[in-house]
Amino acid sequence: MTNITSTAEPVKPAAEDSGGIAVTAGSASVDAARFRATLSAVAGFASKDHARPILTGVRVEYSDSYLTFVATDSHRLAVFTVPAVVTGTPEPMLLAADSVAAILALVKPGIIGRNALPVTLQVSASAGFRFNNGAGAETTGQGIDGAFPNYRGLIPRFQESGCAVALNPTYLAEIGKAFKILLAGTNTPVQVSTDPHTDGHSALPGGYTGRPVRFSVQDTELWPTDVPAPVAVLMPVRVR
């Protein structure tokens, strides 16, 4: 559950009984436009199946100089990063769908204006969060409890294209939409990498390898060298 309030003061660490969030364990300050584009793009990968609530949220991870947003519906995976000024060492947290919607509502261009100040996302030691849009409004809430899947092992590490694959057109279109949001206003191309055929890993009929296809971008202005490039993954389908 999230709560939205307005404040004319910059966001500050909250007391244990203030807004349901304990004393902050860490925070990140992020450019408002990049934050909005990154969170909006990754949110489209979250599952709509409430029978698996862990997959309906967006995972947030803090690193020294960037935030990582992760979402998956078990067919698609997005691991999108955004440069940030990070303080503290907060643990990863999982934002529920309603929390993501509340945060995105506070960073609409009509609300934050053309010359927006950086937004701030704080995480507490008890998995609470406090988001301030830099324009006098904030929302607080609690993350989803539970263990998020170990997604890192699902990301392919090959770099070159090596085989033909068949992809679900709906999922492919949604990945295209996500990168269009992420790269709005730029001409940066999206790199598509497939698993090359080898003697030990030959193609099956129809070019199907069963290995996921990786989508990424290389743009040092949007993601400096110390910030990993955003990655999306899509499982191919078998052609009979």
Residue ranges, comma separated, of all CATH 3.10.150.10 domains in the chain are 19-142
- CATH number attached to the domain at 19-142: 3.10.150.10
Task: Give the separation between CA 167 and CA 219, rounded to whole angstroms.
Answer: 26
Block residue for tokens 């699902």: 154
Task: Specify the 3-state DSSP secondary structure of 78.
Answer: strand
Q: Are 174 and 76 in contact (CB under 8 A)?
A: yes
**Token pair for residue 19?**
């807004």
State residue 8's pLDDT score.
34
Distance of alpha carbon 89 from alpha carbon 104, whole angstroms: 24
pLDDT at residue 201, rounded to an integer? 57
**Residue ranges of the chain whose pLDDT lies below 50:** 1, 4-20, 22, 206
**Per-residue pLDDT at 164:** 64
Helices (H), the chain: 32-43, 97-106, 109-112, 169-182
How does DSSP classify residue 228?
A: P
- Alpha carbons 97 and 43: distance in angstroms, whole number: 8
pLDDT at residue 197 in the model: 53
Q: In what order do the strands lie in the sheet with 231-234?
A: 93-95, 58-62, 66-72, 76-83, 231-234, 213-216, 191-193
At which residue do the structure tokens 């364990």 appear?
25
- Which pTM was predicted? 0.72
Q: Within the chain, how many helices (H) and strands (E) appear? A: 4, 13
End-to-end CA distance of the chain: 46
Answer yes or no: are the C-beta atoms of 14 and 130 closer than 8 Å: yes
Judged by DSSP in three states, 165 sits in: coil
**Residue 15: what pLDDT?**
41
* 8 A C-beta contact, residue 30 and residue 133: no
The pLDDT score that the predictor gives to residue 34 is: 95
Q: Could you tell me the two tokens for 78?
A: 């997005």
DSSP 200: T
What does the block give as tokens for 215? 């989508």
Q: How far is CA 162 from the centre of its chain?
A: 28
